[in-house]
Amino acid sequence: MKWTVVCPYPRLEPERGVAALVDGAQIAVFRVFDGGVHAIGNLDPISGAAVLSRGIVGSRGDVPVVASPMHKQAFDLRNGECLDAPGVRVPVYPVRIRDGLVEVAVET
């Protein structure tokens, strides 16, 4: 895996997302309420639009989710599963914070 710096950790606002292009993949990176960081594919598989980074971040119970800004389907930020449409999912990418920088890995 190749790690790519997306941004400094402090630039990620809590419960907000940013979009990044990492090795040709559109990725949505989120900082959640507990300070954790998650990275999923930015493409909403329901609408076909690259908008998940602009979704509403929250939780369903203990599950961190982002709701698509298009039709509001919720995606689990840990595994990419759509909680509202069984069998639908988005890719999940490894993410880490190293030396204050958010890094995402895409398999090459």
The structure's pTM equals 0.95
What are the tens digits of pLDDT across the range 65-88?
999 999 999 999 999 999 999 999
Q: Which CATH class is domain 2-106?
A: mainly beta
Q: Report phi then psi at 9, rounded to 5.
A: -55, -45
pLDDT digits (tens, 9 = 90+) for 21-43: 999 999 999 999 999 999 999 99
Going by C-alpha positions, the residue among 23, 20, 58 that lies closest to residue 68 is 58
